Every structure is written in structure tokens, then in C-alpha cells.
Amino acid sequence: MTESTRPRPFAFVLMPFSQEFLDTYELGIKQACEEAGAYCERVDEQIFDESILQRIYNQIAKADILISDMTGRNPNVFYETGYAHALGKRVILLTKSAADIPFDLKPFSHVIYEGKITSLKNKLKSRVEWCIANPLKHLTTANVAVELRVNGNKLENKPTIVCKNIRLEERFARIEIQVHNIGNSILHSANCSLGMIVQTYLSQLRFKKPFEELATGIGTYEVSKIDSKSQIIELPLSRTLLPDTRHTLVLALGTDRSWETDAMIRMFTEFGPSDFEFHIQCKSVID
């Protein structure tokens, strides 16, 4: 690959979208990135079909550089910047006034531009140029090696998982998901989460608890609707996995009768999502 065809570094910008920040973005931030040899975007410039929060997560993970304008202490920008820091991303902090820097962020260097867009552009250009010349050494996707199993079945080549309702009156099926870190790198819980995508008619979604607690709703997983036919059960990885260690998540799915459906475990990491497909057959003991 020649220098002329090499992709430019990507800078993702976190800032309020109000009109008063338009010149700051267009004439200051965007021009600085262009002159430094990077391209930059805000999420409101992009076309996508996932939720805006999931898109922001995706772009933060993808970006080579994050640029956060902390002016006005916008809570969304603070939250997104904290997420980027948790992923270990390189973040350039900007603010119009030093008074907007909260206590927890005072140890971090900020570009303070005091409303002067030319000053912002010149200072930011130097920062972006330095970041491009000194890239962070992140793990490659090859080093994030994870094996997933559902009820003991390895998720490869779309296996069929057969399970039975675990109790007559509850009509739940036990789904046990095992995450095995088979790589030689640490899999940090802050950098990884799972989601199980199923059909919307599977209405009861619970943690595996003592049977008497299942019907109470204690320990319900978060469920988000993807479209009219499917939904995703959010399965956070609750602990960091050292090489060759495992973590098991257990949930219970249920409907009134036997059922079967295609399903998928989607793993989210800083390098983007990976999908593991399988098919579930649940055989009710009361049919």
C-alpha cells in the first residue's frame, strides 16, 4: 500500500450539536484535522440504522483519535468521553473556558481556545499531527481470541442447541453461555460485552435464579428492540478474563409451548462486533 492510497487516520468528534458550536466544528476542528492529515466526523453527519448510542460506541471503538469539546459541561459529551477513556483510546480534550474543566479531568491536558477559532485550529492541528506520528500500540483483532459455547456446544458452523424447559410450571429453558478467552491477551470487561439476539415472541427473559425467584422478575436482563421481529438481550461481561480463563452467564427463556428459532451471540469489542450464530430447539415437557 502506497502513502497515497493508505487510509487517513479517523478522528471522531464528541461535542454538543447546537448551532453555537457550528463554526467551532467546521472552521476549527474539521479544518485542523484536514490540515494534519486526518479526517473527522460527528455522529450527526453519518447515516446508520442502529441506535445513536450504539453508533457512538461503534465509532469511539473504531476511531484512531477522539476529540472532545467539554465546553458547557454537556453530560452526553462527558459520558462518551468517559467511555473512550475506559477503552484506553487517545482523547484530545478541548474547552472554550478553563472553568468548564471538572475536578476529575483537571489532570488531563486541554486545548483552551477561549472562543478564538484560529487559535483552536492551530493548537489542535499540532496535537493531531503528533498523534498521527505517535500512534498508540493497540492489540490486533487476532489477539482477541474468544471461544463461545451455549449449553456446552461450541458456536461454530451454526450448531443446533436442544434444551428442555427446566420446570413444568415455569416453562423456562436454561441457556448457559460460556465465554473462554483462548488468546494470550487479557480481555478487559470494560472493553467487551455480549448480546443475544432472539425473536421478539420470546417474551420472558430472566437471570437463572432459584426457581422460586424466576417468576418474580428479580435479576431481569436489559432487552432492547432491534426491529419488529427481533430483540437483543444485553449480557455484560462482569469480570476481566485472563488468558485461558472462562466466564459463564446463565439466563432463562420461555414461552408457553415448544419453540425453536435462529439466534445469535454478538460480541462487542473495541475492534467492532463479531457474530456467533446458532439455532435453539426448546422442547416443552408439557406439550
| CATH number of the domain that residue 31 is part of | 3.40.50.450
SS (H, E, C) 137-195: CCCCHHHCCEEEEECCEECCCCCEEEEEECCCCCCCEEEEEEEEECCCCCECHHHCEEE
Residue with more model confidence, 21 or 137? 21
Q: Find out whether 206 and 212 touch, Cβ atoms under 8 Å.
A: no
pLDDT of residue 108: 79
Q: Does one domain contain both 126 and 148? A: no
Percent of the chain scored above 90 by pLDDT? 30
Q: Does one domain contain both 92 and 209? A: no
Query: Can you read off the three cell numbers belonging to residue 101?
Result: 474543566
Q: Does one domain contain both 37 and 148? A: no
Q: Does one domain contain both 178 and 60? A: no
Q: Find out whether 244 and 252 touch, Cβ atoms under 8 Å.
A: no
Q: Is residue 3 part of a domain?
A: no
Q: What is the CATH classification number for the domain harbouring 229?
A: 2.60.40.10
Q: Does one domain contain both 145 and 274? A: yes
Q: Is residue 89 part of a domain?
A: yes
Q: Does one domain contain both 96 and 174? A: no
Report whether pLDDT(156) > 60.
Answer: yes
pTM of the full structure? 0.49
The domain of 274 spans 141-283
Q: Pick the closest to residue 237 from 265, 278, 262, 203 (CA basis).
A: 265
Q: Find out whether 277 and 225 touch, Cβ atoms under 8 Å.
A: no
Query: Can you read off the three cell numbers belonging to residue 23?
Result: 463554526
Q: Is residue 4 part of a domain?
A: no
Window from 67-71, 125-129, 188-192, 237-241 with minimum mean pLDDT: 188-192
Total number of domains in the chain? 2
Q: Does one domain contain both 205 and 267? A: yes
Q: Distance between CA atoms of 239 and 241, rounded to whole angstroms?
A: 6
Q: Return the percent helix, strand and coil in the chain, to nearest 5.
A: 30, 35, 40
Give residue 205's pLDDT band: very low, low, confident or very high (50, 70, 90): low
Which of 92, 116, 133 delimits the end of a domain? 133
Q: Does one domain contain both 66 and 192? A: no
Window from 25-34, 258-267, 268-277 with minimum mean pLDDT: 268-277
Q: Does one domain contain both 273 and 255? A: yes
Q: Distance between CA atoms of 26 and 28, rounded to whole angstroms?
A: 6
Q: Does one domain contain both 112 and 148? A: no
Q: What kind and span of H or E run contains 232?
A: strand 230-236
Cα–Cα–Cα angle for 62, 66, 68, rounded to 5 degrees: 140
Select, from the ranges 112-121, 142-151, 188-197, the one with the highest average predicted confidence (pLDDT).
Answer: 112-121
Which of 102, 133, 164 delimits the end of a domain? 133
Which of 113, 133, 153 delimits the end of a domain? 133
Q: Is residue 73 part of a domain?
A: yes
Q: Is residue 1 part of a domain?
A: no
85: Cα within 13 Å, side-chain hemisphere: 12
Query: Can you read off the three cell numbers belonging to residue 124?
Result: 489542535
Q: Does one domain contain both 208 and 124? A: no
Q: Does one domain contain both 40 and 78? A: yes
Give residue 254's pLDDT band: very low, low, confident or very high (50, 70, 90): low
